[in-house]
Amino acid sequence: MNLEAKVLNGFERLSEALKSLLWEKAKVHGISPIQIQLLVFISNHKIDICNVSYMAKEFNVTKATISDAVRVLIKKEYLEKDFSPNDNRRYNLFLTESGSELVKDISNYANPVYNQLKLFSNTELNGAFDVISKLIYKLNQENIIQVQRTCYNCKFYKGDLNSTHYCNLLEKELKNQDIRLDCKDFES
Ligand code: SF4
């Protein structure tokens, strides 16, 4: 097996491990993994992107899947709708107080992986991050990852994928490890 195939195999194994950690948390709270992912996403992002269409693209699933999960989360009083003043069919979602409490408890589901990562050196982590951030960008270019808010795809980014990076919003040079995968200031 060549190195590319081994790395790919490693990604598959890691993805399975993360899914299984997510399932463990989901079972404890009686909600599904996609419901956990929605709650964590909503807690970390601006309300204007917390709607069914955007989150369907974010998680590469259908709008119907997101709508079903949202319906359950609203029924359980973890989410509420914020309707658009101009169109009462459009709404964004925000966490209720009990939704925020739940997120505090579940968002650490990946800690076993995080704790292992802390044992690697900065050089090793920088190398891994460099490959992963560029891979995400390239898969987005091929429409395999539909949504991404990384520097490489941002209107404020100036530079070359393989050499220097500069953010025109922050007005500073970015090192490889400063590249953001999910920036709140991202604009396409
Ligand atoms: S605004 Fe954020 S995503 Fe855009 S280049 Fe600057 S740091 Fe990167």
Q: Is the CB of 165 under 6 A from ligand 1?
A: no
| Helix residue spans in 45-84 (DSSP H) | 52-58, 63-75
Q: What is the reported pLDDT for 147?
A: 76
Atom of ligand 1 nearest to the CA of 157: 5
What are the angstrom distances between the C-alpha of 28 and each of 36, 99, 132? 11, 15, 31
**SS3 category, 156:** coil
The CB of 137 under 6 Å from ligand 1? The reply is no
State residue 80's pLDDT score: 96
pLDDT digits 0-9 by tens, 35-54: 999 999 999 999 999 999 99
67, 181, 20, 36: CA torsion to nearest 10: -30
User: Which amino acid residue places its CA nearest to atom 6 of ligand 1?
Assistant: 167
Ranges of residues in the chain whose predicted pLDDT is under 70: none
The helix (H) or strand (E) run that includes residue 80 is strand 79-83
Give the pair of three-digit tokens for residue 21.
């950690």
Q: Ligand 1, atom 8: nearest CA belongs to which residue?
A: 151
Side chain identity, residue 116: Q
Q: Which domains, and CATH codes, for the chain?
A: 3-112 (1.10.10.10), 120-178 (no CATH)
pLDDT in tens, 93-117: 999 999 999 999 888 889 999 999 9
Answer yes or no: is the C-beta of 76 below 6 A from any ligand 1 atom: no
| Cα 72 to middle of ligand 1, angstroms | 34
The Å distance, Cα 6 to ligand 1 centre, comes to 32
Whether 156 lines ligand 1, by a CB cut-off of 6 Å, is yes
Q: Contact 99/70 with Cβ under 8 angstroms?
A: no
